Amino acid sequence: MKAKINKADLYYEIHGRGDPLLMIQGWGVDITGWQPIIEPLSKVFQVIVFDNRGTGRSEVTRGDYTTRQLADDAAALLDHLQIEHAHVLGWSMGGMIAQELVLAYPEKVNRLILSASSAKVNDKTAFIAWANVEAIKRGELETSVNWQLSFCFSSALFANQELLARVRDHALNPPYPVTLEGLMSQFAAVASHDRRRQLRRIKSPTLVLGAKEDGIIDLGQVEALAREIDDAELRILPGGHMYHVEYPYIFVETLIKFIGQRAYVQAA
């Protein structure tokens, strides 16, 4: 479904019933990146997923974006759906957007999960991201995809040649390819985000998640983010930057336990 949100057409989907769980995606990724966890989470929650402006089936509006602008979109989407408050999961750039959302609209956020994210990316992370942009500018799609795989997944994926081929093929042939304009507009939001020394204002119970083999947002950044938030719970899970794709049931079980819903039992 689409809705006009802050003068942009945003695509969204709703799955399941229960307490609302708003899931905010990362840089250049559309809602198909949530696919491994939507179905299990929808058994417990009313899952709301959407494409940030600039990606997927949402509109690519002109100009540089900010994480506050993207958080305003998320808040306006909740208003459009007549949802007063929700649990919020933000991954990577989505975690930065979630920080802005809870700071600007604290009444809208019940429990907050910041996954593979940072209060401000360090110089290495910015360099890695910019290197990917440069490859895309040169039209080197395979180089870009290899970059994504090497930083976003753990060693275990590369040991499984069949799975590696499947993941790589999907990355080379995405159903909704990101445009260079959208990627650059979102990159501006990541590069300008800095909420260090401001996150003490967060009152929502918060879970900060990181991955052991994350090649983009390293554990130092994740640990620093957790220290910024009073009483935040820190959990380190197996996998790389996209650990919710590699280990979906571990990820889902961790979320459900934190939010306090009934235990999720993996299907046999």
- Give 266's pLDDT tier (boundaries 50, 70, 90): very low
User: What would the pLDDT profile of 139-196 be if each residue is shown by its tens digit?
Assistant: 999 999 998 899 999 999 999 999 899 899 999 999 999 999 999 999 999 999 999 9
pLDDT at 83 over 80: yes
User: What would the pLDDT profile of 124-138 be if each residue is shown by its tens digit?
Assistant: 999 999 999 999 999
**Any domain includes 182:** yes
**Any domain includes 266:** no
- Reduce the DSSP state of residue 127 to 3 states and report it: helix
Strand partners, 11: 2
**Any domain includes 265:** no
Q: What was the pLDDT predicted at 16?
A: 97
**Any domain includes 268:** no
- Give 261's pLDDT tier (boundaries 50, 70, 90): low
Query: What's the domain count of the chain?
Result: 1
Strand partners, 3: 10
Specify the pTM.
0.96
- Domain containing 25 equals 2-259
**Any domain includes 227:** yes
**Any domain includes 267:** no
Query: Sign (positive/negative) of CA torsion 253, 257, 258, 261?
Result: positive
For residue 261 the two structure tokens come to 């819903």
User: What would the pLDDT profile of 196-243 be if each residue is shown by its tens digit?
Assistant: 999 999 999 999 999 999 999 999 999 999 999 999 999 999 999 999
pLDDT at 123 over 70: yes
Any residues with CB less than 8 A from the CB of 177 and at least 6 apart, and which?
Answer: none
> According to DSSP H, which parts of the chain are helical?
35-42, 67-80, 93-104, 123-137, 141-152, 155-159, 161-172, 180-192, 219-228, 243-246, 248-259
User: What would the pLDDT profile of 231-253 be if each residue is shown by its tens digit?
Assistant: 999 999 999 999 999 999 999 99
Dist. CA 213–CA 105, nearest whole Å? 33
Q: What was the pLDDT predicted at 163?
A: 84
What is the enclosing helix (H) or strand (E) of 114?
strand 109-115
**Any domain includes 130:** yes
- Reduce the DSSP state of residue 176 to 3 states and report it: coil
- Reduce the DSSP state of residue 223 to 3 states and report it: helix
Q: Tell me how many helices (H) and strands (E) the chain has.
A: 11, 8
Which DSSP state fits 32? G
pLDDT at 268 over 60: no
What is the enclosing helix (H) or strand (E) of 22?
strand 19-24
- Reduce the DSSP state of residue 174 to 3 states and report it: coil
What mean pLDDT is reported for the chain?
A: 95
In this structure, which long-range contacts are made by residues 203-206, counting pairs with CB atoms below 8 Å and at least 24 apart in sequence?
A: 203/106, 204/102, 204/106, 204/109, 204/110, 204/111, 204/112, 205/111, 205/112, 205/231, 205/233, 205/258, 206/111, 206/112, 206/113, 206/114, 206/231, 206/232, 206/233
Q: What was the pLDDT predicted at 241?
A: 97
For residue 209 the two structure tokens come to 């998640």
Tell me the CATH number at 24: 3.40.50.1820
**Any domain includes 264:** no
pLDDT at 264 over 60: no
pLDDT at 112 over 70: yes
Amino acid at 120: K
